[in-house]
Amino acid sequence: AKDLANTLKALKTDHLDLYQFHSISTGRDVNQILGEGGAMETFLNAKMEGKIRAIGFSAHSEPMAVRMIESGMVDTCMFPINFAAYHYGGVGQKVLAAAIENNVGIIALKSGARGRLTTENGEAVHVPKAFAHIPEFKRQEMIDYPVVTSKVHHTWYEPEDDPVELNRLVLWSLNQPGVTAVLPPGSLGLLDGISDLLRGKNQVPKFENKEMQHMLERYNDIVPIFHNRSISGTKVST
């Protein structure tokens, strides 16, 4: 409640349209949020008081995202809906199905990503001996599956920097049932092409199914940024 009050004061407003839990990763996270005396109680009270209009969360773990959606207490879910991860990693289908069934809007993350960076095509990030805000298993994952950032763009994944192909990826994500919004890549250099795609339109352009085969072939050898396998080489949505 104190954090929300500080946020409202800092933004000089009396309400937020959307207030989110960030980066829900483990069953413990979900239990703490939804349990008796948990943070969800504060969020629900704030919503009843009109201080927030909608409750949301972000996650990279598909099982945890589904649990939050099925709680019936959230309005939005921010989750990776990425072409390669969906088709070659098996990540995203369960979240979309749960969101539709529970009337939860999906804010798609990583729509413009090609795949996972490696130390060969990116720059490794130093991992300290401890984090105050990141669980130890996540720190260890950063060591086992090195976090790498793009040498060109400010992203931790390999973005699609061909503007035509980037638009295809974004349109695919926007056209998935349940998706209500897409976050652009974290690089201003890639934003203009997406803006041109949507500028002046009051409806999302339709994704042309004839593009599917081309995209499946283009990303066939890409290592997805997320997948549901337990082998090395990428992050795992568990």
Q: How far apart are CA 235 and CA 89, in angstroms?
A: 10
Taken as a whole, the chain contains a residue count of 238
Q: How far apart are CA 172 and CA 180, in angstroms?
A: 12
Q: How far apart are CA 63 and CA 28, in angstroms?
A: 12
Residue 33 has what DSSP assignment?
H
In tens, the pLDDT along 74-90 reads 999 999 999 999 999 99
In tens, the pLDDT along 150-194 reads 777 777 788 888 889 999 999 999 999 999 999 887 777 777 777
**Which of 30-39, 51-60, 183-192 shows the lowest per-residue confidence on average (mean pLDDT)?**
183-192
Distances (CA, A) of 200 to 170, 196, 203, 205: 17, 9, 9, 11
Element (H, E) at 46: helix 39-48
In tens, the pLDDT along 84-110 reads 999 999 999 999 999 999 999 999 999
Average pLDDT, the chain: 87
Is 231 a residue whose pLDDT tops 50?
no
- Tell me whether strands 19-24 and 55-59 are parallel, antiparallel or unpaired: parallel
Sign of the dihedral through C-alpha 158, 219, 108, 164: positive
Per-residue b/e over 142-168, b at no fewer than 16 CB within 10 Å?
A: beeeebbebeebebbbbbbbeeebbbb
Residue partners of 72: CB distance under 8 A and separation at least 6:
102
